Every structure is written in C-alpha cells, then in structure tokens.
A and B are shown apart, each in its own frame.
Chain A
Amino acid sequence: MKRIINEMKLRLPAVSVNEAVSRSVISAFMAELNPTVEELGDIRCAVSEAVTNCIVHAYRDLPEGKVGYIYISARLYEPREISVEISDNGCGIEDVEQARRPAFTTDSLGERCGMGFLVMESFTDSLKVKSTPGKGTSVLMRKNLKP
C-alpha cells in the first residue's frame, strides 16, 4: 500500500464560478509536492475539464432553480503522486467510449469542442471514467510528479 500524505473532500454547487474555485483549491492542495509549472498547469487544466463537465452536462436536465453538486476528492501519495476523483449525481453518459472520442460533444451549440476527455487523458497518467445513466458520472485521474 502506498502511504497517503494528505487527503481532502470538497462539495461544491455545480455553478460556473466554481470552475476557478476548484482550480485554486487543487493548486493549494498539491503545493506541498512542489510541482513544476508544467505539472501544476496539467492538473489545473484536467480538473477544470472534469468540473466543467459536471456543470455543463451532468445537470443539464435539472429544472430551473435546482442545482446539483460536484464532489471532489483528492489524495497525495508517497513519494510524489496525486489522484483526483470528480463525480456528480447527474444524467450520466450512455456510451462512455463514444464520449471519450476526441471532438465528440453533445453540446456544439454552446461552443463546446469535445476535447475535454482528451485533455484529461493527455495531461495525466491515467483516466478512468465510470458512468451510470440516470445516476451520475465519476472521473478518476492519477499523475506521478517528477522526482
């Protein structure tokens, strides 16, 4: 078992100001690993993608005035690894393989470009997506920082 250095859980309403909030929190959380500018940028971007997906897609069918939640849970492991899980209780994804394909989007009118999953995958070492239609989606990312 890898030893855990630190862990956190956060629940935020799925509203767009929380995109920047989640990036700031994750930056502060991983600061003790002294990430490089590139590593920090990668994680900030990957987290922003996953959180944005909860805000834009997961709760798209909620009635006006109702707001869903985003759940972020992160861990730092020895020697220099970070894992971040971002989940929602939203509409879920029917076909995850199709959703992960570059340029696939269900929201082209809003100028989404279908590159979110590609960014999460490329900027981390591993990306696992679990989703149940009608129940929600969970995205788990891991990244090893340079020694």
Chain B
Amino acid sequence: MQDDVIFSRAAGTLSAKIQCEIDHHTSRRIRERIDERLISERPSILVLDFSGVTFMDSSGLGLILGRCERADVIGASVRLTGLSDTLYKLVHLCGIERVKNLSVRC
C-alpha cells in the first residue's frame, strides 16, 4: 500500500504530504503519524500539503485544528498548501483561517 503521509524536513520546517482520502476512518492514523514527528522534531513551521488528498470532509477540519493546537504548544505555526478548489471551499466555509497560528496558501 502507498504511504499515506510522506514527511520531509528543511531547516525549521517539517512538511507532511498527505496522500489519501481524509475522513473519520483514516484521520486517526494520519493524526498519529503527524503528531509523532511533530513531537520528536519540534519544527517551527509545520506544512500540511493537501495536493495528494482526493477527498476530505469535516474530519479533516478536526485534523487541521487539532494539529494547530499541538503546534501551538511547542510554539510552531501551521501552513496549509496544495488545497484544491473543493478542499478550499470546505476550509473556507468553516472559517478555519481565523486560527491564529494557521495560514493558508493555495
């Protein structure tokens, strides 16, 4: 099976490229994988790359908000990239852009 999260590291940035559908069923494993790296590497920026995500529902919003909280604890910020129009619509709908340590780049 293809790896569902691929990590890369450059200076203070940890990037996590998610490559699967994000729903309640899959989000737990994705969350555990990202948190493990976040805690061991303590980056100052966590990039969540959605360019490989073919489906997402509000479970993905929970995943994003939860990572923002975790990142905040270690003083890190979260950046979203690679959002398709469909994913952006969902993220925008929920006003997630107002979270203080979160930025969105399409």
Residues of A within 8 A of B (CB): 16-17, 19-20, 23, 37-38, 41, 44-45, 48-49, 52, 55-56, 102, 110-113, 115-116, 118-119, 122
* B27, closest chain A residue (CB): A111
Residues of B within 8 A of A (CB): 21, 23-25, 27, 31, 55-59, 61-63, 65-66, 85-86, 90, 93-94
Residues of B within 8 A of A41 (CB): 55, 86
Task: Looking at the assembled complex, report how far the CB atom of A82 sits from the nearest CB atom of chain B, in whole angstroms.
Answer: 18
> Which residue in A19, A45, A102, A118 is a CB contact (below 8 Å) of B24?
A19
Residues of A within 8 A of B63 (CB): 111
**In the complex the two chains form, is B93's CB within 8 Å of A119's CB?**
yes
**In the complex the two chains form, is B94's CB within 8 Å of A19's CB?**
no
* B69, closest chain A residue (CB): A111
A115-B61 in contact given A52-B24, A56-B24 (Cβ < 8 Å): yes
* A23, closest chain B residue (CB): B55
* A122, closest chain B residue (CB): B93
**In the complex the two chains form, is A118's CB within 8 Å of B94's CB?**
yes
* A116, closest chain B residue (CB): B58
**In the complex the two chains form, is A113's CB within 8 Å of B58's CB?**
yes
**In the complex the two chains form, is B31's CB within 8 Å of A111's CB?**
yes
A118-B93 in contact given A19-B25, A56-B24, A111-B65 (Cβ < 8 Å): yes
**In the complex the two chains form, is A49's CB within 8 Å of B57's CB?**
yes
